[in-house]
Amino acid sequence: MAFREEVLDMIDLSPLDQPAVLNFIFYPRMDFSDPPRNAFDLSIPVDPQVAISCRLYLGDSTWPWILYFHGNGEVVSDYDGTAPFYHQIKVNLVVADYRGYGASGGVPTLSDLVRDSHVLWSAVKEELTRRSFRQDLWVMGRSLGSISALELAYQFPDRVNGLIIESGASSVVRVFRHLGIPAHGVDLEKIDLECQKMIKKISVPALIIHGERDNLIPVEEGKHLHKYLRSEKKELVIIPSATHNDIMFVGLRKYFEAIQRFIESTSNPLESG
C-alpha cells in the first residue's frame, strides 16, 4: 500500500477546480490495452475508492528509471510504442495516468494531480525496492505532466535524481493566459506567484526540452523555466522546427541524446553498477 511521505506546503490549485476550467485542461480517455511482453501494470490507491494505473516498462533491472507524467490527451498505453526508445538509451520507464484516464478511477482535478503525485512517487519507489530493481529514479513531465514532475522535484530534492520537463511551463497560470482559459473569480496572480516561488527553490539537476515552434506552450516558457530554476546543473535543449505534439519525432536523435547524457551525468555512482 502506498503511503504519503512528509511534504512541504503544496501549492493550492483547488480554486482552479471549476468545471469550465477543467474542461479546458483535461481530456480523459478510458482507453486501455494489455501491457506488452516486457511491461506490467501497477494499480496505486490514491483514495479509498480511487486507484491510478501506472505501467512499468522494464528493459533491464540494472538500468535507471524515469517516472513519467504524460500530456492531457494521452494515456499510459500510448507509450507502448515509445518505451523502446528509452530502452535504447538503457533507461526504464514508468508512465503514470491521472484520475479518469485509462484504467484509473475518479475524475481529474488540478488539486488531485498535485496530491496524487506524492502517492505515485512513494508507490513506485516501493515497487522498485520490492522487485530488487535499481533505485535511481528521475521524474519527467510532458506538458500538463510538468505540474506533477515539478511538484516532486520540489518536495523530494534528496530523493529525486533529476528533473526532465518536456514542452512544459513554470506555472499553469502562464498557460491559462496564453490560451485564454477562463478562470472566473480566481486570484491567478497569487497562484502564479506561489508557482514562481516554488520554481526558484527547486535545486535538483534539470533538463528542459522544448519545441522551437510550439504554439500551445511557447518556447519562451521553457526558457523562463530554465532561467529561474535554482538548479546548479541545468540544460535547455530546443528542438528546431518542432511543435508541441511532434517534438520527440522531429528531434528524435537530439531528444534522446539529451536525456541519455543527462541521466548518465546525474546517476548515483553507487547504483550505476
Above 80 in pLDDT, residue 252? yes
Q: What pLDDT was estimated at residue 6?
A: 57
Per the model's pLDDT, the better-predicted residue between 207 and 12 turns out to be 207
Reported as a single tens digit per residue, the pLDDT across 83-105 is: 999 999 999 999 999 999 999 99
CB atoms within 10 A of CB 184: 7
3-state secondary structure 200-260: CCCCCCEEEEEECCCCCCCHHHHHHHHHHCCCCCEEEEEECCCCCCCHHHHCHHHHHHHHH
pTM: 0.95
Q: At what angle do helices 188-199 and 219-228 cross, to 10 degrees?
A: 60
CB atoms within 10 A of CB 152: 26
Return the CATH class of domain 21-265: alpha beta
How long, in residues, is the chain?
273
Residue keyed to cell 507502448: 80
Reported as a single tens digit per residue, the pLDDT across 157-206 is: 999 999 999 999 999 999 888 888 888 889 999 999 999 999 999 999 99
CB atoms within 10 A of CB 181: 16
Pairing of strands 92-96, 39-47: unpaired
Cell numbers linked to 71:
500530456
Reported as a single tens digit per residue, the pLDDT across 41-86 is: 999 999 999 999 999 999 999 999 999 999 999 999 999 999 999 9
Q: What pLDDT was estimated at residue 271?
A: 57
Reported as a single tens digit per residue, the pLDDT across 176-188 is: 888 888 888 899 9
Q: Which residues contact 131 (CB under 8 A, 6 or more apart)?
A: 61
Cell numbers linked to 159:
530523493
Q: What pLDDT was estimated at residue 184?
A: 84
Q: How confident is the model at residue 2 (pLDDT cuts 50, 70, 90)?
A: very low
Q: Any idea where the domains of the chain sit in the sequence? A: 21-265
